[in-house]
Every structure is written in structure tokens, then in C-alpha cells.
Amino acid sequence: MAHFAKVLDGKVIQVIVAEQDFIDNMLDTSAGNWIQTSYNTHGGVHKFGKTPLRYNYAGEGYLYDAEADAFYEPQPYPSFILNTSTYLWEAPVPYPTDGKKYDWNEEITNWEEVK
């Protein structure tokens, strides 16, 4: 079985599990296109070393860049920047590596320790 995302106007509106034959032969007259997505692909890497598919697994509400053939999440914060090598959003300040837990604070555009 494979996963397919229904894309309308660059947005994922539905994700299903189906065989390719089902997608090829289904009578879906609603607007949009079914595009295969891989549950095992994240950041352009397949977790089992296979060929990655469309950078990231698509979830409902995700975006699809047809030119790059990439699925990605909506922007989580206005200051985050889309890395077009991975199609993952990155904070403008790297996450601290001191072992503590942090949440992003958009007001100060920095990480704040969770106490």
C-alpha cells in the first residue's frame, strides 16, 4: 500500500492509503490531483535508505510546491525560513544544544527555556 495526497491549489486536503491501481482507476470528479507521498520520507531523506519521495510525508493542511515536487508544513512562525534543500522550516536562531527543553518565542525571535 502507498499513501496519496489530494492537492488542490497547492494545499493538501486529504491523505489516503491505497494501491496505485485504485488511484489510476477511481472515479474522482472533484477538483484536485492525487499525488503519492512517502510516510518514510522526512527532510528529503528516506529513513530506510530508499529513494526519498517529495521531501516530506504530506499531511492534511500541508503545502505542495509543484515546481520543486515537494510537500512541506505550513510556516509555523513568521520568522522561520524554509530550507529548500530539505523543505523543513528552520528558526533564525539554532535550537540550543545544552540538553534543556526550549520553546520558540516569536516576540523575541529566540528560544526560551521551558521551566
- pLDDT tens digits, 32-65: 999 999 999 999 999 999 999 999 999 999 999 9
- Report the pLDDT value the prediction gives residue 13, as an integer from 0 to 100: 98
Give residue-wise pLDDT tens across range 58-113.
999 999 999 999 999 999 999 999 999 999 999 999 999 999 999 999 999 999 99
pTM of the model: 0.92
User: With contact defined as beta carbons under 8 Å apart, do 84 and 90 qualify?
Assistant: no
Domain positions in the chain are 1-73, 75-115
Q: Give the 3-state secondary structure of 77-98.
A: CCCCEEECCCCEEECCCCCCCC
Q: What is the pLDDT of residue 44?
A: 98
pLDDT of residue 63: 98
